[in-house]
Amino acid sequence: MERAQPLPNYLAQRYHGWKATGYADNQSWYRQLAEQGQHPRAMVISCCDSRVHVTAIFGADQGEFFIHRNIANLVPPYAPDGDYHGTSAAIEYAVTALKVAHLIVLGHSSCGGVHGFHEMCHGRAPELSEKTSFVGRWIDILKPGYERLGGNDAEIDSATLEKEAVLVSMENLLTFPFVQDAVADGKLTLHGLWNDIGEGGLEYYDAKSKTFRPV
């Protein structure tokens, strides 16, 4: 890796600042975590978006949440074909090895991935339609949800599609046998959330009313 570069100086400075304060103040906890391993209570599947920090929203410290982040917080369907499946691997590890109690899918407003999907469906993002587009193929996961909402024939606003992406991911979670089993055994619960970035809002999917409601 001769292309590797040192850390930019301002990040090195900030790290030293954290080491002298944030780390120093919690050294005992960091050492316990290192020696005794992690025992997170929940797995969160969130977007890579720089504006959504689940640790901030829930005041979570080191050790609480096992967090997978990908474009548009999507979960592909179960497909044990021997290929690389990063999201499925993270879910498998959380449920079968760490035995988390909660599996939370966290969507959000102004999601670039969901927006790109919408543009692609309407022919306004031809580059995403190409077979070689990783983003385009990844967001194809959203298709069943989009069709269910009426597809190209319907007027679908961003928030509706973002929330549908959360539901599609939750449905796909239940195609994994180990998720099914843990849920059936009462050892795992599934939760769908949607965060309004600008307003700091948080809604959860309510199975009874089949709508997202404010937490």
Binding to its own copies in span 6-25, by CB under 8 A: 6-25
- Given a contact cutoff of 8 angstroms between Cβ atoms, the answer to whether 182 and 188 are in contact is yes
Is 47 annotated for ligand binding?
yes
Q: Is 202 in the site for its own copies (CB under 8 A)?
A: yes
Distance CA 113, CA 91 (A): 21
Nearer to its own copies, 1 or 153 (CB): 1
Query: How many residues make contact with its own copies (CB under 8 A)?
Result: 128
Residue keyed to tokens 């949607």: 194
Of 149, 203, 144, the closest CA to residue 168 belongs to 144
Distance CA 202, CA 162 (A): 13
Q: Could you tell me the smallest distance in angstroms from the CB atom of residue 136 to its own copies?
A: 8
Distance CA 69, CA 84 (A): 16
Q: Is 172 in the site for its own copies (CB under 8 A)?
A: no
Q: Is 149 in the site for its own copies (CB under 8 A)?
A: no
Looking only at residues 103 through 132 of this chain, which bind its own copies when binding is defined by CB under 8 A? 104, 109-110, 112-113, 131-132
Is 48 annotated for ligand binding?
no
Is 111 annotated for ligand binding?
yes
- Given a contact cutoff of 8 angstroms between Cβ atoms, the answer to whether 77 and 145 are in contact is no
**Residue ranges for the binding site for Zn(2+)?**
47, 49, 108, 111
